[in-house]
Amino acid sequence: MTEFDGEKQTKKEIGQAIKKYILDEFLPGEDPEALTDETPLITGGILDSLATVNLVLFVEGRFRIQIEAHETTIDYFNTISDIEQLIHSKL
């Protein structure tokens, strides 16, 4: 994994890092093409509460941001696109 530089990473690159983490940790062996930026993660049953916490910890560490408790809901973490938006707004 390359060192994170918020000034240089695009939303697409952020999304790719999140997608890779989700595929590696929660969907091993699944077709990467089946996970899109709009695939429902929480409401679709891919992420449960523990998986969401693990994803939050990954995001905080990888992108050096702080996620507030109210930001761990489906409003911010239901799709890769939602997560990209949240991260981008904090950089």
Spatial neighbors of 36 by CB under 8 A, at least 6 apart, are 80
pLDDT in tens, 27-83: 999 999 999 999 999 999 999 999 999 999 999 999 999 999 999 999 999 999 999
Are 87 and 14 within 8 A, CB to CB?
A: yes
pLDDT in tens, 8-36: 678 889 999 999 999 999 999 999 999 99
Look at 39 and 6; give whichever has higher pLDDT: 39
Phi then psi for 17, rounded to 5 degrees?
-65, -40
- pTM for this prediction: 0.88
Q: What is the pLDDT of residue 41?
A: 97
Query: Domains (ranges, CATH) in the chain?
Result: 11-90 (1.10.1200.10)
**Distance from C-alpha of 33 to C-alpha of 62, rounded to nearest angstrom:** 23
Q: What is the pLDDT of residue 8?
A: 64
Phi then psi for 86, rounded to 5 degrees?
-60, -50
**Distance from C-alpha of 83 to C-alpha of 29, rounded to nearest angstrom:** 23
